[in-house]
Amino acid sequence: MANTATIEIGGKKYEFPLVEGTEKEVAIDIKSLRAATNGIITLDSGYKNTGSCESAITFLDGEKGILRYRGYSIEELAEKADFLEVAYLLIFGELPTKDELEKFHNDIKKNSIVDEDVHKILNAFPKAAHPMGVLSSLTSALTAFNPSSVNVESEEDMYNAIVKILGKMPVLVAWTMRKKQGLPLDYGDDSLGYVENILKMMFSKPNHKYENNKIYVDALDKLLILHADHEQNCSTSTVRITGSSHAGLFVSLAAGISALWGPLHGGANQAVLEMLEAIKADGGDTAKYMAKAKDKNDPFRLMGFGHRVYKNFDPRARIIKKAADEVLEALGIEDPILEIAKGLEKEALEDPYFVERKLYPNVDFYSGVIYRAMNIPQEMFTVMFAIGRLPGWIAQWREMRLRKEPIGRPRQLYIGETERSFVPIEKR
Ligand code: ACO
């Protein structure tokens, strides 16, 4: 294969190097384009064809439905690893030894106390506030109680910031839910595993001895692993671009949480459940909703379907669908919502509209069904996604800073008015 690409503009040829990744993906390196062509830029709204960075964290092949963290397949990790091991793998590049994992967990536990004054901020939110807004604000507020920036020249400082946020974020997540439910805040129990403790902090009741349900713990562990990273998606790109101004880790994460909230991204898991419930309330008429999704005059989209990168089955959706079946069976739940989801999936996979556009179920199509079986309120679904994505965001932020990437600052093609004279207000 040639190792350069040639662009011809107005009869003049410009050569640009081709760069190859370890999985043989090829990119045209256009760094010198603007300077060489006297100001010409590329235009790619939504960045469908633009690589924003080189990254060694996650590989995904949307055509083949492959997803790997640091070279390990998502299927193997979901089956054999636990969430904290995966977090370590994503952030530091290798699976931890027993000792490394133990130290990592202990350091996280030591850092899981949140300043009491953060309660005051939490208490100032109305109960009706969406937990994603509260989580984003509280994560941002943590900067007031911790150094606002991290000395990235020091691995130790970087490590300390990482264990701090991994310790504090689950507390904030649990508190956002407890606040909504009017429950006293809970710090969990240090003797529990990371994921077990998240559940305890969320579900313990002041008048009842808390006992962990292994089915819940395993299900949540798997869901968090499946959400842990997904290369340069909207929220991760937000974290990287925010951090590229050398803004601190916590505020970069707060920006990522806000980006995740939208229904086209992480907010889809809540939107899927709302859609499935609406279909159920409407008599279970899936055909009607399929028709709406295909109608170009109707803004309705089949939530949980389609993906910017996967033009094949999202490998995470396969794992989650199986997990949903297993969890519901183990808990002895027969949920008509799951049946509606399966029916909708079957119809969509056979429908030419969805087939032609390569629209398959994505990770969020079945995750809500599991969260619902675990009694997690719908408004918390995207918050659960955020806690899963946390190690990915951290890993991507750390990589960006260690690679000393320049500030993210795209160009634009201006299409507004050309120069005109100011008109005084009395003459307008
Ligand atoms: N329902 C109906 N039609 C759809 C859907 C859908 N869910 N998704 C895409 N399409 C159609 C579009 O209307 C478009 O049709 P056209 O070519 O006739 O105009 C075509 O498929 C391509 O869609 P785009 O929006 O251009 O694809 P894009 O890559 O920009 O968007 C996205 C991907 C945002 C995920 C989209 O598929 C969507 O809105 N899905 C529903 C929301 C969702 O589930 N989001 C979660 C994504 S996974 C995650 O973030 C964890």
Task: Summarize pLDDT for 181-232 with one digit per residue, the tens.
Answer: 999 998 889 999 999 999 999 999 999 889 989 999 999 999 999 999 999 9
306 C-beta closer than 6 A to ligand 1: yes
What was the pLDDT predicted at 143? 87
268 C-beta closer than 6 A to ligand 1: yes
Which of 61-65, 81-85, 188-192, 315-319 is the most confident on average? 81-85
Name which residue leads in pLDDT, 426 or 143.
426
Mean pLDDT, range 35-45, rounded to an integer: 96
Please, which pLDDT band fits residue 334 given cuts at 50, 70 and 90?
Answer: confident
What was the pLDDT predicted at 335? 85
Nearest residue CA, atom 49 of ligand 1? 265
Ligand 1 centroid from CA 306, angstroms: 5
**Token pair listed for 115:** 């300043």
359 C-beta closer than 6 A to ligand 1: yes
Q: What is the pLDDT of residues 249-305, one digit of tens each?
A: 999 999 999 999 999 999 888 889 999 999 999 998 899 999 999 999 999 999 999
What was the pLDDT predicted at 145? 82
Ligand 1 centroid from CA 6, angstroms: 33
pTM of the model: 0.93
Question: Counting atoms of ligand 1 from 1, which one is nearest the CA of 304?
Answer: 44
Nearest residue CA, atom 21 of ligand 1? 357
Q: Is the dihedral of CA 279, 284, 286, 291 positive or negative?
A: negative
CA distances from 379 to 148, 159, 224, 273, 422 (A): 29, 32, 17, 10, 48
User: How much is the mean pLDDT over the chain?
Assistant: 94
Nearest residue CA, atom 47 of ligand 1? 265
316 C-beta closer than 6 A to ligand 1: no
307 catalytic, yes or no? Answer: yes
User: Which letter, b or e, does each residue of 60-74 get, where b requires 16 or more Cβ atoms within 10 Å of its Cβ?
Assistant: beeeebbbbbbeeeb
What was the pLDDT predicted at 144? 84
103 C-beta closer than 6 A to ligand 1: no
**Token pair listed for 273:** 């459940």
Q: Which of 286, 357, 384 to mutate to test the pocket of ligand 1 (most atoms within 8 A of CB)?
A: 357
CA distances from 60 to 39, 70, 135, 225, 310 (A): 33, 11, 29, 15, 9
User: Which letter, b or e, does each residue of 2-39 get, where b requires 16 or more Cβ atoms within 10 Å of its Cβ?
Assistant: eeeeebeeeeeebebeeeeeeeeeebbebeebeeeeee
What was the pLDDT predicted at 106? 98
Q: Is the dihedral of CA 247, 248, 249, 251 positive or negative?
A: negative
What was the pLDDT predicted at 364? 87
Q: What is the pLDDT of residues 162-187, one digit of tens each?
A: 999 999 999 999 999 999 999 999 88
- C-alpha span between 136 and 288 (Å, rounded): 36
267 C-beta closer than 6 A to ligand 1: no
**Token pair listed for 161:** 């910031």
227 C-beta closer than 6 A to ligand 1: no
Q: Which of 385, 382, 390, 380 is nearest to 165 (CA)?
A: 390
Of the candidates 44, 307, 314, 351, the residue annotated as catalytic is 307
- C-alpha span between 7 and 17 (Å, rounded): 11
157 catalytic, yes or no? Answer: no
Please, which pLDDT band fits residue 338 given cuts at 50, 70 and 90?
Answer: confident
What does DSSP assign to residue 60? Answer: E
Question: Counting atoms of ligand 1 from 1, which one is nearest the CA of 306?
Answer: 37
Nearest residue CA, atom 50 of ligand 1? 265
Neighbours of 330 (CB within 10 A): 15
Q: Which residue has the tokens 């106390």?
A: 113
Please, which pLDDT band fits residue 89 given cuts at 50, 70 and 90?
Answer: very high
Q: How many residues comprise the chain?
A: 428
Q: What is the pLDDT of residues 102-140, one digit of tens each?
A: 999 999 999 999 999 999 999 999 999 999 999 999 999
- Three-state DSSP at 288 gives helix
308 C-beta closer than 6 A to ligand 1: yes
What was the pLDDT predicted at 1? 63
